[in-house]
Structure formats: C-alpha cells, structure tokens
Amino acid sequence: MFWKRKEPASDIPRGIDWALDLYGARMPKGCLPVADDHCGNMVVLRVAGGRGGEVLFWDHEQEESDDGPLFPLTSSFSAFMRALRV
C-alpha cells in the first residue's frame, strides 16, 4: 500500500510520518519509506546520494544479514511506476 505523507485519522494509522516514527532509526540514511506490504517490509525511495531516485525493497527479516535489508527494484521512481502497470 502506498502512503501519503500523513493519513487521516483511522483505526490503523499509516503514512510516511508513521513509518518514519516507527522505522526511521532502522532505515538507512537517505531512504524514505513510501509503501509497505503489510508484512513488515517496505518499498523505499533513495532520496540522497549518487543513486538518488532509486527504488528499493526493505526486508525487515534481513536487517542483521551480511548483505543488509535493501534490495534494488528499479533505478528510478518513474521506472518503478511503469513496472506496476498491467
């Protein structure tokens, strides 16, 4: 599910602000969570650095692995959105 910056009040608050409050300290610097899969994993947008714009999958079960929790999906957000089209 993709998030807005701040979701309206609901029983299950979801939004970028919520994700940053909950996961911000665990997120790599320069990454912004933009969606989740309802299983604790997130789609993040790299917003800083030489690969800014890259879209990654953040696997919460891989945080402690040698390879880390981030797996590249696409090199840009527009490429990611094109890949979602049916």
**Does residue 10 have a pLDDT over 60?**
no
Q: Give the domain ranges of the chain.
A: 16-84
Q: 22: how many CB neighbours lie within 10 A of its CB?
A: 12
Higher-scoring residue by pLDDT: 14, 56: 56
pLDDT of residue 7: 53
Residues 21 and 48: their CA atoms lie apart, in Å, by: 19
**Does residue 53 have a pLDDT over 70?**
yes
Work out the widest C-alpha separation in the chain, in whole angstroms: 39
Rg (CA), the chain: 13
Nearest to 14 by CA among 27, 3, 26: 3
Alpha-helical (H) ranges within 1-86 are: 16-23, 77-84
Q: What percentage of residues in the chain have a pLDDT greater than 90?
A: 22
Which pTM value belongs to this model? 0.76
